[in-house]
């Protein structure tokens, strides 16, 4: 009888965890849990894709044990502003994100997304991906589906049809709706249209993420518009890649912060995200006035080729250039030209000279229009921001870190280095070197803050019962290696990355595993 009782006690003890076998045991790490609290020494036990226990776990068994002595152990980074449509299907291991510690991305930003998210999610589940992914539904995508590229308000029927598409996307698992009000056809939409659609997304628990209408001296009106949409619809607002551009506007970030704080004091939930660089990246078309890009490609080409209209376009381009504070287009670099790889990495001033024209800004507008008339997207990098402004905005308690990137093909084109090094750059440059942030606050901006904003349940913190998305990095060596001159380089110092309990980066090398999941919004639960 005593033998049986002893056996039962030992068995019970093992079930209570004493002899439990973890899938992965991380030992001796300096744990930053994502809350913003100070780091502490401890072990992390992972089983069946979850964090099971945190504490002194030296006596426990594990299939895989990682010694994290001298390194930080933190939740996987959540990038709330990505553009992985197309590139994730082609490069499902998402090496650039994984090597930068990113375990989850939110795509569908700037108004552009897949229109049928259910099909998109199913395709990715079948393929298998290395990162977790959530998606917004893009307003530009919806508007173009219903109205084309027309500069007008929607009819009552068209607005109803757009509302139905938002509702369908939310029921398919979208985490919210995005706008790109600097892009077509979003630039033609008035605020009341956005409010109507935002109300639908809000009814499903969604977020409103906006590439606001302007980011130069008109940024203040654009911030107000985004916040007013939130106030009118009740939706939580995320202002994408928060910044101010143009030399005359450098140093005005304090005004931007005051404006956001004004709305937050009024009870409007406004937060922002930011990439840690002084250059942006988008298409060549943003250098042209909006009206020149209305309609079909054929109509746009006809305008550019019409001598009188071309002259009008060039005049407005010169006015825009003057407002930016730059004398010419040497601040604008080609990241990727689909038909001429020889100009990748060159600025428009030098490309203009290469084409045999004199180095005048008026002639550079001719070169820009010669590129734009091809109607194939030329991806650009624009050096129009200020380093002091970047650091000022980074210190905001409601600012997240996000890359605004996709998954580039290695050694193809000259993409913005943010695609490879966003998070490591924050940790290496702005925490270790500049001490702009503490380690704990930087990690919070990359983990629990975005998880909270986008309602990513059981993500963003190292706690028992949470998904085992984990990053182990060396604070002495973590660094971005990608530069504007040599952008194709993975971050260093991020030695282990775990996604849903599976090791994806081991000793700095991608294992090729694809344990990523599709993360869906709360709207699916209402069905």
In this predicted structure, what is the pLDDT of residue 7?
40
Q: How confident is the model at residue 523 (pLDDT cuts 50, 70, 90)?
A: confident
Strands 270-274 and 509-510, bridge-based pairing: unpaired
pLDDT digits (tens, 9 = 90+) for 438-481: 999 999 999 999 999 999 999 999 999 999 999 999 999 999 99
Sign (positive/negative) of CA torsion 447, 68, 420, 132?
A: negative
- Distance from C-alpha of 487 to C-alpha of 414, rounded to nearest angstrom: 6
Residue with tokens 């734009």: 372
| Cα three-residue angle 84-34-106, rounded to 5 degrees | 15
Alpha carbons 526 and 126: distance in angstroms, whole number: 25
Q: What is the pLDDT of residue 4?
A: 46
Q: 143-148 long-range CB contacts below 8 Å, 24 or more apart?
A: 143/185, 143/186, 143/188, 143/189, 144/185, 145/115, 147/185, 148/185, 148/295, 148/296
Q: Which of 300, 111, 84 is nearest to 197 (CA)?
A: 111
- Tens digits of residue pLDDT in 338-382: 999 999 999 999 999 999 999 999 999 999 999 999 988 899 999
Give this prediction's pTM.
Answer: 0.93
| Residues sharing a CB contact under 8 Å with residue 514, sequence separation 6 or more, in sequence order | 92, 93, 127, 128, 129, 130
Above 80 in pLDDT, residue 392?
Answer: yes
Nearest alpha carbon to residue 180 among 273, 110, 117, 250: 110
**Distances from the Cα of 176 to the Cαs of 106, 330, 363, 400, in angstroms?**
10, 37, 43, 17
Give the Cα separation of 399 and 117 in Å (integer): 28
Category of 188 on φ-ψ map: left (φ > 0), alpha (ψ -120 to 50) or beta:
alpha
Rounded CA-CA distance 343/341 in Å is 5
Residues facing residue 202 across a β-bridge: none
Q: Which of 470, 393, 391 is nearest to 429 (CA)?
A: 391
Cα 171 → chain centroid:
23
Beta bridge mates, 506 = 496, 509
Confidence of residue 525 (pLDDT cuts 50, 70, 90): low
- Average pLDDT rounded to a whole number, residues 271-292: 95
Does 2 have pLDDT greater than 50?
no
pLDDT of residue 20: 65
pLDDT of the residue at 34: 98
Which of residues 104 and 10 earns the better pLDDT score? 104
Over range 40-69, report the average pLDDT: 96
pLDDT category at 85 given cuts 50, 70, 90 is very high
What value does the mean pLDDT take over residues 379-408? 97
The CA distances from residue 298 to 67, 151, 288, 375, in Å, are: 61, 16, 16, 9
């Amino acid at each position: 009888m005593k033998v049986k009782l002893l056996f039962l006690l030992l068995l019970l003890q093992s079930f209570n965890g004493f002899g439990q076998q973890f899938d992965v045991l991380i030992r001796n790490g300096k744990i930053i849990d994502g809350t913003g609290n100070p780091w502490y020494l401890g072990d992390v036990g992972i089983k069946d894709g979850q964090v099971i226990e945190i504490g002194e776990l030296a006596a426990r068994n594990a299939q895989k044990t990682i010694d994290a002595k001298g390194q930080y152990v933190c939740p996987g980074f959540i990038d709330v502003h990505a553009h992985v449509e197309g590139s994730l299907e082609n490069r499902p291991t998402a090496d650039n994100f994984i090597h930068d510690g990113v375990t989850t991305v939110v795509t569908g930003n700037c108004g552009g997304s897949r229109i049928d998210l259910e099909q998109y999610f199913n395709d990715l589940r079948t393929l298998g991906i290395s990162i977790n992914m959530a998606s917004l539904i893009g307003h530009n995508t919806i508007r173009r589906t219903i109205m084309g590229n027309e500069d007008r308000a929607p009819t009552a029927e068209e607005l109803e049809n757009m509302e139905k598409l938002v509702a369908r996307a939310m029921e398919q698992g979208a985490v919210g709706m995005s706008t790109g009000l600097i892009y077509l056809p979003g630039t033609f939409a008035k605020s009341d249209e956005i409010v109507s659609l935002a109300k639908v997304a809000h009814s499903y628990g969604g977020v409103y993420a906006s590439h606001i209408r302007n980011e130069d001296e008109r940024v203040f009106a654009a911030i107000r518009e985004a916040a007013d949409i939130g106030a009118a619809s009740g939706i939580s607002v995320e202002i994408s890649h928060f910044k101010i551009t143009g030399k005359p506007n450098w140093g005005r970030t304090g005004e931007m912060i005051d404006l956001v704080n004004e709305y937050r004091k009024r009870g409007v939930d406004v937060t922002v995200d930011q990439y840690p660089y002084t250059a942006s990246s988008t298409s060549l078309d943003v250098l042209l006035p909006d009206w020149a890009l209305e309609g079909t490609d054929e109509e746009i080409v006809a305008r550019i080729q019409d001598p009188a209209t071309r002259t009008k376009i060039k005049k407005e381009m010169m006015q825009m250039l003057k407002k930016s504070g730059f004398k010419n287009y040497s601040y604008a670099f080609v990241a990727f030209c689909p038909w001429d790889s020889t100009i990748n990495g060159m600025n428009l001033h030098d490309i203009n000279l290469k084409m045999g024209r004199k180095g005048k800004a008026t002639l550079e507008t001719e070169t820009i229009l010669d590129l734009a008339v091809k109607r194939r997207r030329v991806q650009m990098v624009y050096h129009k921001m200020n380093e002091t402004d970047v650091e000022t905005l980074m210190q905001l308690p409601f600012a997240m870190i996000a890359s605004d990137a996709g998954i580039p093909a290695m050694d193809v084109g000259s993409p913005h280095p943010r695609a490879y090094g966003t998070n490591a750059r924050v940790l290496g440059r702005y925490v270790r070197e500049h001490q702009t942030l503490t380690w704990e606050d930087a990690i919070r901006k990359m983990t629990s803050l975005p998880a909270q904003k986008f309602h990513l349940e059981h993500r963003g913190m190292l706690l028992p019962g949470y998904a085992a998305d984990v990053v182990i990095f060396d604070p002495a060596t973590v660094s971005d290696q990608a530069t504007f001159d040599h952008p194709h380089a993975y971050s260093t110092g991020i030695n282990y990355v775990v996604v849903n309990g599976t090791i994806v980066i081991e000793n700095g090398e991608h294992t090729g595993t694809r344990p990523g999941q599709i993360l869906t919004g709360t709207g699916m639960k209402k069905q």
